Each structure stands twice: as structure tokens, then as C-alpha cells.
């Protein structure tokens, strides 16, 4: 392997000066007022964020989290001029199926920490060794330690899909599965369409009932359960798209606040963990482990990924709008509200309690592996890792090479 395609070991080592700077900024936060009695209706409540920020400063141990992350094999390689950071955790089972796992926004490989051991070494917890995976978990360009971004254009999911396909090839994997969530689901679907040969199957989570800026979902002819999901999507579309409007129109203006204020970055992410997690959880840290949540926020803060991921969102939306415009200009036009279902490799979808994914819209032919769960939400690897692990095992079980093949 030449120098240009070399895979280099990586170790997280945040300078103490950066950690001291974070603590100093948290101590000097200029807190706003909040109208009494408004709760979560206008965003993250002042009292809750103050308490969470105080814990980030005085209870959360970044050095412990950093040491635990560094116990995992991490690497960086340069693809098309961009450094791509990734975890590569090989299973002790030699016949394990390689699995590319792709996070979304606002996230990083930290999202998957609780599923790494059961996926790579199922026998350690009494599972079947034949269900094992070799895991490759990259940071999207502009997220985590795949920063800084070398040039504009890495928000284009087609480009990211191509880079991740190259990554799997560099690792020597000629056949592998893909799991993607949120934006990562889009990358996974594009990878399966652009280069389906090596892809054994694609498993998706964090998909939605429609495009964020498309028309509301029509409720007629939907089942009772699907109607409830559609109503939640329509409510989200009407009331919770402020973050997306900013990131897809003025990411640079937003970048100043996210890059300068840890309290601002904390609120920006914490709001999503309130809105998108299991509706049975009252607070974000009722749905996910508080330290894991703050570990993810800390990675955003230390790498400046709040700004660069906002730019990636902007570029991704620009690419989608250009594609939609081209499709609309074709003879007969095209309804760009729903993404085309991935063709080629088998596809699986897991829908959790907070999700708005509707089968009759995404999979009208009922051709996909489909699972619906009564708990969990947009971050299933953090909220319901047991359900996600079992669904991945079930989906990929028939797609593994047969003995002797």
C-alpha cells in the first residue's frame, strides 16, 4: 500500500489546554433568561441545561472517556484528499461478516459504543459465534476526527459513499454489509446503488416518513399505526425544523455560536436527544447514558464539528435539491418527496418507538426485511442496543456465506 493510501494508527489526545479552555468557558457562560412556564416548548429549558453543563464541567470525566475510546483500534486514511477517521474492531471469529456502520447527525462513532462487543464477539455473552461481525465505523467527513474538511463538497452523500467504499477496499473487504442511520442511512443506500457488487445487504435506521422540506404526509388510506407516525412527522415538520433551516441555509452564521460557546453546542445537540428519543423518556438522559451523551458532545466541541457538520448539511441539501430539479425536468417529472428504495442488495429497516418511518411509503411492495419495536428512538445503538443487535443478526443471518462456499 502506497503512502497516499496508507492506513495510519490514530489515538485521541486532546491537549490539556483545550480541556482547560472548555471548563473556563463553561464557568463563564452568559446564561439567557427564559419565560416562566414554557418548559421544552421553546427549546432546552434553562434549568435543565444549567444542570447538565455543571455536570459536564464537574462530574463528567473526559480523560476517562478518552482512555476508553483509545482502547478501541482507531485509524486514519486519506481518500480523495480528505482524512477519514474510523474504528476497526475485528471479531475473534475468523468467519465474521465485515459490517460498515455509518452514523448520522448529530453524532459520531461514539453512538455505537454499546453495540461493539455484542456484534464482534457474541459468544462472550452467550450468543452464537456465527453471528459475529468485523466492524468498520468511520466518522463522516466534517464530523468527529474526520476533521478538518479539506475542501467544500464533502457534504455530498454520493461522494462520501464512494469514499467509504474505497475504505472497505483498502481494508481488504470484498464483501460486506452496511448499517446506516439518519444521514448515514442515505450514505448506505447510495453505496448500495453505486457499487452494489461488494455489498451483501443494507440495514437502515433513523429514516423518516418523508422529506423534511416536502409536503406533509397525507393521512388518508394509512393504517391506524401508520397514521400516528405520519401525524408525528407532520408535527415535526411544522414545529421542529429550525435547526435544519439554519444548517441548510446559513451554516457559517451558526458556526460562530457553535464553535465559541460550549453551552450553545450542548443545547444544539441536547435538544435533538429530547425530541428524537423514546417518547417514554422525559429527559434526554432518561433515554441515553448521560456520560455517553456528553462524550459525543465533547467530541463535537474538541474537533469543531458543530461548524463543519453544519456545512456538510448545507452541501448535502444543495446536492439533493439539484438532483430533485433534474428529476423534475425529466419527461413525466418525478415525485421527489420520497427517496427511491435502494435497489440491488437486500435491504432491512428497523423502526423504533420514536421513529416516523412508514412501510407503505418506504416499502410499498413489502420487499424489505422490516422490524418495528415499541421502545427506542432515533439513536437505537444508545437507547435500545439489544434490539438493534438482534435485528442486525436476524437481517444478515441469511446473507452470510454458506459453509464451504
pLDDT of residue 401: 86
Mean pLDDT of 81-104: 98
Residues 6 or more apart whose CB falls under 8 angstroms from that of 177 comprise 97, 98, 99, 100, 133, 199, 200, 201, 202, 203, 396, 399
Instruction: Give 177-223 pLDDT, tens digit per residue.
Output: 999 999 999 999 999 988 899 999 999 999 998 888 889 999 998 99
pLDDT of 1 reads 61
pLDDT averaged over the chain?
A: 94
- Show the 3-state SS of 388-399: HHHHHHHHHHHH
Alpha helices in 207-283 (DSSP H): 224-239, 242-249, 251-260, 262-275
- How far apart are alpha carbons 133 and 130 in whole angstroms? 9
In tens, the pLDDT along 320-366 reads: 888 878 877 887 665 444 444 446 899 999 999 999 999 999 999 99
> Is residue 19 predicted with pLDDT exceeding 80?
yes
pLDDT per residue over 109-164, tens digit each? Answer: 999 999 999 999 999 989 999 999 999 999 999 999 999 999 999 999 999 999 99
Residue pair 32/50 in contact (Cβ under 8 Å)? The answer is no
Average pLDDT over residues 268-291: 97
For residues 273-295, give the mean pLDDT.
Answer: 97
Give SS3 for 382.
helix
d(CA 92, CA 134): 9
Indicate the pTM of the whole model.
0.95
Amino acid at each position: 500500500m502506497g503512502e497516499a493510501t496508507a492506513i495510519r494508527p490514530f489515538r485521541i489526545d486532546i491537549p490539556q489546554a483545550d480541556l482547560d479552555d472548555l471548563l473556563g468557558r463553561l464557568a463563564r457562560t452568559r446564561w439567557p433568561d427564559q419565560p416562566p412556564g414554557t418548559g421544552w416548548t421553546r427549546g432546552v429549558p434553562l434549568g435543565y441545561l444549567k444542570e447538565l453543563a455543571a455536570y459536564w464541567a464537574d462530574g463528567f470525566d473526559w480523560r476517562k472517556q478518552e482512555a476508553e475510546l483509545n482502547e478501541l483500534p482507531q485509524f486514519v486514511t486519506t481518500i480523495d484528499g480528505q482524512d477519514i477517521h474510523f474504528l476497526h474492531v475485528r471479531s475473534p471469529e475468523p468467519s465474521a461478516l465485515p459490517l460498515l456502520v455509518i452514523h448520522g447527525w448529530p453524532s459520531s462513532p461514539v453512538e455505537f459504543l454499546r453495540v461493539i462487543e455484542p456484534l464482534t464477539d457474541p459468544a462472550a455473552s452467550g450468543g452464537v459465534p456465527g453471528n459475529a461481525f468485523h466492524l468498520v465505523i468511520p466518522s463522516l467527513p466534517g464530523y468527529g476526527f474526520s476533521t478538518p474538511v479539506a475542501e467544500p463538497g464533502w457534504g455530498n452523500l454520493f461522494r462520501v459513499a464512494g469514499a467509504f467504499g474505497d475504505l472497505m477496499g483498502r481494508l481488504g473487504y470484498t464483501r460486506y454489509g452496511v448499517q446506516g442511520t439518519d444521514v448515514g442511512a442515505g450514505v448506505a443506500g447510495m453505496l448500495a446503488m453505486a457499487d452494489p457488487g461488494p455489498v451483501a445487504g443494507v440495514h437502515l435506521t433513523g429514516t423518516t416518513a418523508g422529506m423534511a422540506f416536502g409536503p406533509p404526509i397525507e393521512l388518508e388510506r394509512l393504517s391506524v399505526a401508520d397514521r400516528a407516525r405520519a401525524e408525528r412527522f407532520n408535527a415535526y415538520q411544522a414545529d421542529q425544523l429550525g435547526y435544519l433551516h439554519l444548517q441548510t441555509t446559513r451554516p457559517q452564521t451558526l458556526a460562530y455560536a457553535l464553535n465559541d460557546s460550549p453551552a450553545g453546542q450542548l443545547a444544539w445537540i441536547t435538544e435533538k436527544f429530547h425530541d428524537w428519543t423514546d417518547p417514554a423518556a422525559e429527559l434526554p438522559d432518561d433515554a441515553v447514558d448521560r456520560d455517553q451523551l456528553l462524550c459525543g458532545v465533547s467530541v463535537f466541541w474538541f474537533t469543531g464539528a458543530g461548524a463543519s457538520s453544519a456545512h456538510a448539511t448545507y452541501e448535502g441539501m444543495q446536492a439533493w435539491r439539484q438532483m430533485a430539479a433534474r428529476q423534475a425536468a425529466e419527461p413525466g417529472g418525478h415525485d421527489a418527496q420520497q427517496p427511491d428504495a435502494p435497489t440491488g442488495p437486500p435491504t432491512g429497516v428497523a423502526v423504533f418507538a420514536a421513529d416516523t418511518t412508514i412501510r407503505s411509503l418506504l416499502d410499498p411492495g413489502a420487499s424489505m426485511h422490516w422490524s418495528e419495536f415499541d421502545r427506542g428512538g432515533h439513536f437505537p445503538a444508545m437507547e435500545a442496543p439489544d434490539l438493534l443487535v438482534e435485528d442486525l443478526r436476524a437481517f444478515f443471518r441469511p446473507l452470510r456465506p454458506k459453509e464451504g462456499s
